[in-house]
Chain A
Amino acid sequence: SALTQPASVSGSPGQSITISCTGTSSDVGGYNHVSWYQHHPGKAPNLIIHDVSDRPSGVSNRFSGSKSGNTASLTISGLQAEDEANYYCGSYGSYSTWVFGGGTKLAVL
């Protein structure tokens, strides 16, 4: 995948976890247009963060995003069982295209 994410992360209920998303200066590092999607298998992916750190209306403030250089991060605080899902990052990039990460499977232990 164009963007690199860890294959899996895990945490206990109530804890915080962070998922990284590493790209290049042509995508993550070059634009403040990183988005994050939560995906429960079999359902439609759900936008949870856009433009690095903005939350759409209705998304819990337990989800937050940030970026430093070519790496963006998604932090989920106060982990809940319902947060167990796959998480994908995406970024606007060169030549007006979009690139995505390989996805991170979050396990809530």
Chain B
Amino acid sequence: QVQLQESGPGLVKSSQTLSLTCTVSGASFSSVGNYWTWIRQHPERGLEWIGYIYYSGNTYYNPSLQNRVIISIDTSKNQFSLKLDSVTAADTAVYYCARRIPGTHYFDYWGQGTLITVSS
């Protein structure tokens, strides 16, 4: 059973960098396969796809965020991370990590999400 767990600071000040980590269990990072993904949900709004990283380190980002986002991976720790620069109140959201298997177009396992609030 694949499990994902997000961790982060909870509160980030405006203009600073948001950093989150997703720890994965039940799936190997070192074998071929798996696109590790970040998705967020703004308050009272729907979901927004942020981007993904492949086990090899290749990344692909939402064009609306690509100037501010970096996703990285640490296969030795079974973790991948999100960094979002220059945050504003509009970045306040619940951030989810999720998995997508290559060749598919859906997210089969998700974390419970972590709320990040951007304060002024």
Interfacial residues, chain A to chain B (CB-CB below 8 A): 1-3, 5, 31, 33, 35, 37, 42-47, 50-51, 56, 88, 90, 92, 95-103
Contacts and interface: CB of A to CB of B under 8 A. Distances in A.
B106 A51 contact: yes
A8 B99 CA distance: 28
A59 B109 CA distance: 14
Nearest to A47: B108
Contacts of A33: 105-106
Nearest to B62: A97
B112 A100 contact: no
7 contacts: A5-B46, A35-B106, A37-B107, A44-B4, A45-B98, A47-B109, A97-B63
B96 interface: yes
A47 B46 contact: no
B46 A51 contact: no
B111 interface: yes
Nearest to B51: A97
B45 interface: yes
Contact of A99 (B49, B60, B109): B49
B49 A35 contact: no
